[in-house]
Structure 1
């Protein structure tokens, strides 16, 4: 009977018009789309056809460039200048929508004249604000200091760049063609700076000439959530407007992630590991390289960051690494910068002699560091379950927590690492205190070291125990006798 019902269901689907099937599939998240494709042959054929049609560079930006050959030319422009697309148009691509009428382009200030001139020769008109000169060329020349006119550039509460933190964007220009608008925002460093300065994780989606990247796909595309970055209530008007754009798309705003999630090394929000563009947490859709024959990778995976959490803010921590002039700059995690610099110094002569591209060198070094960190922290992920037990105990356990000897060493190292970050970012607040029969709230953690050879720095352990004591968490080292 179940077989006939299944066949009937498939038969009903197969008789639906393709337009209706496409509308149904458009509502699916990437995870659901992948699951559907694995369910049966018919759905695999349907989803493959859908992906082939929708997951293309043409679909990503096509409505903004309708002229003959303009899409290919724009892809070439992105390749040559390093231009990135973010904002509503990028999110539209991942949710299979075509509602956005504004495209946000991010470019290094030195490339903005090339980008703006290209837009002007492809049907777009410059729409100056009160603080702009009437001509785009005159305005950018004045801003870059090429024009003798000494005028301070003003920045109003511009809704077109309100998604970004203002200090990252040094200037912006608006171009229009009918109902379509393109905002060109200039960054002083790599354009990826603009992405890392967004107000929330739901906006951290990128279109390059090579691929589309969603940095937080689980939250954004599956859970329909967005976490605030460097924001807290009460927010300014421009900040409220930026977040309202996210809620209008059905995204739930997360003000503070759980401590367990932040301390989980396998989480995309963990402060215990460096994130980089293109890592295992990202959702990537490669584009067919239909631009000219001289293909050039975008090397976005050279850029990395670390998550951090203070009493007030959720943060992206980044540093700029610029090897040598005139090589490009890279945005890297503060934890990795010193290691990258040290290893780059060893092979810098190969780069200066032109034997090795600087992007390839930096990417290879970062991959080495990631592999090294992965080996170092492999045991920590196993110990995380025991750390979770400790945190859970804060909510209501009475008796002591016994940590078995087989995991004691790994857990020691893990919790010491966690505490170092907690102390640095002030996350270890006793929000949930242990409910005991006495007035004081205490958690008694007993490490069983029987039969274990622990390689411990006892001075560090003592400092760690003293620090935890202020939160009424008591640490004991004992040999448990059976």
Structure 2
């Protein structure tokens, strides 16, 4: 008897035992198994199962609409659970959003019953005080460009904690000046470099994170004091935290930690559609790109620049650390709005997306 002739519940029992890498290999054996595996993926990788701990059914739909409107992404251990088909009972829901959209997210969480919980050392004792924090002040009517080494623009501006009782649930909202990806690419190690948007889930280093060896490479851009605690936490969850790699790990089509130009949703990512489809536009997350580089000791850095405009762009972006791209973007945005009556125009986001696609096609 073939697996494709068994009930779907039997499929689940068998396929649950396979790692993501094994699922992928099994799906390639023939068309019948391909169909079985992809039907399983559609059943098993359900966002509402993951978010059901925090929101009701109607709230999950509202949450995804909020993601689309603000560019907010889910990241951290929650997304790791999604891809790994597991549950960490003590984990929080970590949401990353541009600082300019903080109020939309905070107000929505408050409206559905979550309460703001200030950190004991925070100077913001109320949510209103916290939301009044401005962070770096960008150019009023222009485009702000910055390198990835500028701490003023790449450190978290706010970390807002919200909680709900019976049962206890905690949500953290982390804001950044640039696209949330600027925070994700500075995480302590690669196993948590995964995101969920309103319509897709992306893992940036899936071969290493979910393959047979389950490795996570330290990110030396992250110098925060909590990295050792984070390493210990993910080691206890089954990942080997490593500081450097060998050539086979970063070179070639099957590299676990691929080097060079990367883009959200590229062929080196593991990308899963989120169902049900809300029939919303794609958004601009796949217009973000970076370069993974290794030094002589094969230790990595994720290199990127950032772009922000309150008047010309719906979203901010990270783009490859390349001076040519910097100058091209500067030229594209020179003739943008320059008055207080200007409105954000999607054409600027679309023009930037076209530039990144062209650049990616040229160099990859």
Q: If the length of structure 2 is used for normalisation, what is the TM-score?
A: 0.80
Q: What is residue 305 of structure 1 aligned with on the other side?
A: 290
Distance 1:365 1:214, change over 3 A: same
Instruction: Confirm whether residue 345 of structure 1 aligns to residue 336 of structure 2.
Output: no
Contact 1:72/1:290, CA 8 A, preserved across alignment? no
Taking the aligned partners of 1:76 and 1:93, their CA distance within structure 2 comes to 20
Gaps of 5+ in 2: 136-152
Q: CA deviation at 1:138?
A: 2.5
Which structure has more relative contact order (CA 8 Å, sep 6+)? It is 2
Q: What is residue 370 of structure 1 aligned with on the other side?
A: 360
Find the residue that maps to 1:69 and give its secondary structure: helix
Contact 1:308/1:317, CA 8 A, preserved across alignment? yes
| RMSD, matched Cα | 3.4
Distance 1:68 1:302, change over 3 A: closer
Find the residue that maps to 1:181 and give its secondary structure: strand
Q: What is residue 126 of structure 1 aligned with on the other side?
A: 116
Q: What is residue 175 of structure 1 aligned with on the other side?
A: 162
User: What are the superposed Cα offsets for residues 340-367 of structure 1, whole Å, 9 maximum, x if unpaired?
Assistant: 6327736865999998622221221122
Gaps of 5+ in 1: 1-6, 146-165, 375-482
User: What are the superposed Cα offsets for residues 124-160 of structure 1, whole Å, 9 maximum, x if unpaired?
Assistant: 222221133332123222x238xxxxxxxxxxxxxxx
Taking the aligned partners of 1:109 and 1:23, their CA distance within structure 2 comes to 43
Taking the aligned partners of 1:263 and 1:63, their CA distance within structure 2 comes to 40
Taking the aligned partners of 1:175 and 1:275, their CA distance within structure 2 comes to 34
Q: CA deviation at 1:212?
A: 0.1
Distance 1:179 1:43, change over 3 A: farther
Contact 1:85/1:208, CA 8 A, preserved across alignment? yes
Q: What is residue 199 of structure 1 aligned with on the other side?
A: 188
Matches within 5 A, 1:72-111: 72-100=61-89, 101-111=91-101
Q: CA deviation at 1:373?
A: 1.9
Taking the aligned partners of 1:305 and 1:44, their CA distance within structure 2 comes to 32
Q: What is residue 135 of structure 1 aligned with on the other side?
A: 126
Taking the aligned partners of 1:264 and 1:71, their CA distance within structure 2 comes to 40
Bigger helix fraction: 1
Q: What is residue 393 of structure 1 aligned with on the other side?
A: none
Q: CA deviation at 1:93?
A: 0.7
Q: Which of residues 46, 52, 57 is equivalent to 2:42? A: 52
Q: CA deviation at 1:102?
A: 1.1
Q: CA deviation at 1:80?
A: 0.9
Q: What is residue 253 of structure 1 aligned with on the other side?
A: 241
Deviates more, 1:259-268 or 1:223-232: 259-268
Alignment length (residue pairs): 336
Instruction: Confirm whether residue 284 of structure 1 aligns to residue 271 of structure 2.
Output: yes
Taking the aligned partners of 1:356 and 1:126, their CA distance within structure 2 comes to 33
Taking the aligned partners of 1:324 and 1:175, their CA distance within structure 2 comes to 27
User: What are the superposed Cα offsets for residues 95-117 of structure 1, whole Å, 9 maximum, x if unpaired?
Assistant: 11233531110011121121111
Distance 1:174 1:47, change over 3 A: same
Q: What is residue 117 of structure 1 aligned with on the other side?
A: 107
Distance 1:340 1:268, change over 3 A: farther
Find the residue that maps to 2:182 and give its secondary structure: helix
Taking the aligned partners of 2:317 and 2:210, their CA distance within structure 1 comes to 28
Distance 1:311 1:176, change over 3 A: farther
Deviates more, 1:193-202 or 1:33-42: 33-42
Taking the aligned partners of 1:259 and 1:36, their CA distance within structure 2 comes to 27
